[in-house]
Amino acid sequence: MIVGLGEWGLQYRSIEDHCRIARNFDLRYLELGIGGDFPGRIQRDIGQQGIDDLLTCMKDYGIKAPFVALDNDFTIGGQEQLSKMKERVAHDIRLASRLNATHVRLFTGFELAAEMTEERWAWMLQAFVEMNDLCSEFGMVISIETHGRNTPVNNGFIHEHTTSTEWNSLQRLLKELPSTVGFNFDPGNLKAVDSSRPLADYAKLLGGRINYCHLKDWKQTDNYWVACAPGDDDLNYDELLKDVSFQGVYLIEYEQVDDVVEGIGRSLNYLRSIRPDLRIE
């Protein structure tokens, strides 16, 4: 099992800090993020000098970052909005290629699965066909994150089904998307959106289409969920990982910004306790 570091939770720290934290834990792989007004994410208007400086920084720390998280919503209403969204994502894919990415994380979108019309399904699927073609030009692949609609409540979120979490919708995506489009399996998100269905079912359903993976957990408080580290709650990764065929880098995604370094440490301690073969490479 190879482990790296996801970028969410680190978004308020510089990317050099990301590299430094990773190396302090003897990790070699990072996830980068594009977009959003955060010091820890790459701005869309970055110039070539900025890209060169970033790549040099990662090289100096001995870090690789083949995973780049993009922000998108292909379920938004209206063709004009969707056209602008596709233009932005296409820009971000081209930028990710200049960062030597191999995988780009995308969302299907945040419309509730129950509210999706056939027309919006068709638009969403076509958007993925176009983005997949573009990724193929640069030797990259898409990884759709299993992610619900998250509504903030206190220090957590209410999770509701989107097309990337609802069971029948996932089956449809697997059938109708190009076979080269993969999935970012995030079992913590799936637990929070539907704790009644065994996570092993999702792992088996997605099977060989899993080409990216986030590791975290969520703890329920009243009617909402608070993000936490693997091992902090009841998501049994020891059992679940037996049903995950993915052989790539598993990315710790600790989301709490106030104690992110401590949370990464807890995550690693837990993962080492269940996977003595854990590697950093």
In a domain, 210, yes or no: yes
Q: To which H or E segment does residue 77 belong? A: none
Give the CA distances from residue 200 to residues 14, 85, 160, 187, 273, in Å, rounded to whole numbers and listed in that order: 36, 33, 20, 9, 20
Give the CA distances from residue 39 to residues 8, 18, 27, 145, 150, in Å, rounded to whole numbers and listed in that order: 12, 11, 21, 23, 23
In a domain, 229, yes or no: yes
In a domain, 202, yes or no: yes
Give the CA distances from residue 89 to residues 119, 129, 225, 267, in Å, rounded to whole numbers and listed in that order: 21, 13, 29, 31
Give the CA distances from residue 271 to residues 59, 102, 220, 281, in Å, rounded to whole numbers and listed in that order: 26, 25, 21, 16
In a domain, 154, yes or no: yes
In a domain, 41, yes or no: yes
Number of domains in the chain: 1
In a domain, 281, yes or no: no
Give the CA distances from residue 233 to residues 202, 226, 237, 270, in Å, rounded to whole numbers and listed in that order: 19, 10, 11, 11
In a domain, 113, yes or no: yes
Task: Specify the pLDDT at position 36.
Answer: 87
Task: Specify the pLDDT at position 279.
Answer: 78
Task: Specify the pLDDT at position 277.
Answer: 86
Does the reported pTM lie above 0.95? Answer: yes
How far apart CA 7 and CA 190 sit, in angstroms, is: 19
Range of the domain at 16: 2-274
In a domain, 280, yes or no: no
CATH code at 177?
3.20.20.150
Q: pLDDT tens track of the chain, all 281 residues?
A: 999 999 999 999 999 999 999 999 999 999 999 998 899 999 999 999 999 999 999 999 999 999 999 999 999 988 999 999 999 999 999 999 999 999 999 999 999 999 999 999 999 999 999 999 999 999 999 999 999 999 999 999 999 999 999 999 999 999 999 999 999 999 999 999 999 999 999 999 999 999 999 999 999 999 999 999 999 999 999 999 999 999 999 999 999 999 999 999 999 999 999 999 887 77
Q: To which H or E segment does residue 224 belong? A: strand 224-228
